[in-house]
Amino acid sequence: MVGRTFLLSIAAVAAAGPRTASAFQSLLPNLGLSPPSKPVGVVDLEDRLLAAIESNGSDRRLDNSDEISSLVARLEASGSSIARPAVAPEVYGRWRLLQTTNADTASPIQRKAVDTTKFDIFQDIVFAEDDPEKLLVRQIVKFGDNSELCVDALASTSAYPLPELTERQGTGKILGLNVLGVSLVGGEATEDPDRPDSRVRFVFDEGKFDFGGFSLPYPVPFRNPLFRDAVKGWIDITYLSDRIRISRGNKGTTFVLKKEEE
């Protein structure tokens, strides 16, 4: 009877959402039920990936290194990712972009921003300050201690669904040109059934430059109905641990990010 009650309590906490579940996880070591540690081989692969990115040079964040690509693929195929990564408590917080591939289908603005390696780039998966049920994917480019570009996207997962986020219809080409990036659509955009709850859908909503309290709007009309489909996207989290996240985006780009300490 006690065992059944305890299991029901766990189920209730899990259903309550990532914040409650995360807090509950902190109690697990005291109960002798701490999550299993990562296999030594996976830790080694993560260490080798981080070392390869570092040795590749800070001026080559946008790169198609064979060694890095191989290590990424091995981690993705390791079977050691945290399950259901898009809704796992570990996915929330701030992530630093370490490396990304130079996909021809990425937008010119994205490639230029990412290739400017003297600026730190972060991706936050967080909740809106005014609504704890509104999930955001926030892109931040830090120009300095008091200046940054912040672009917010409304996000949707199975845990925090957003009705507006229907499937994207267009590739994004304008008069045959790659202006905002070229997205996979239709059958090419189908989720991998072997990776449940790995996709985070999003639609860019607003952005601004902040220079020490002086703000300027980001010059893309994200909310204009003419552009709304073109600013939809998604990332598939193909590997997640407590320190590394590997994601593949709707424009064919692969991202390697490292969790920032809170």
Q: How far is CA 223 from CA 68, 100, 177, 209, 262, in A?
A: 37, 27, 21, 17, 32
Give the CA count within 13 Å in the CB-facing half-sphere of 249: 22
Rounded Cα gap, residues 70 and 54, in angstroms: 16
Task: Label residues 7-45 b or e (16+ Cβ within 10 Å = b).
Answer: eeeeeebeeebbeebeebeeeeeeeeeeeeebeeebeeb
Q: What pLDDT, on the 0 to 100 scale, is given for residue 104?
A: 56
**124: exposed, middle or buried (Cβ count in 10 Å: 0-12, 13-18, 19+):** middle
Which tokens go with 205?
């909503």
Percentage of residues in the chain having pLDDT higher than 90 = 54
pLDDT, tens digit (0-9, with 9 covering 90-100), for 170-227: 886 655 554 567 888 888 889 999 999 999 999 999 999 999 989 999 888 899 998 8
Averaged pLDDT, 15-20: 50
Q: Give the model's pLDDT for residue 30.
A: 42
Q: Is the pTM of this model over 0.85?
A: no
- Could you read off the pLDDT of 25-34 as tens digits, one per residue? 444 444 444 4
- Identify whether the C-beta of residue 121 lies closer than 8 Å to the C-beta of residue 132: no
State the chain's mean pLDDT as an integer.
Answer: 82
CA 35 to chain centre: 23
pLDDT confidence of residue 58: 64
Q: Which residue type sits at 184?
A: L
Which residues have CB under 8 Å from 106's CB, separation 6+?
A: 181, 251, 252, 253
Q: Which of 104, 105, 98, 103 minimizes the C-alpha distance to 71?
A: 98
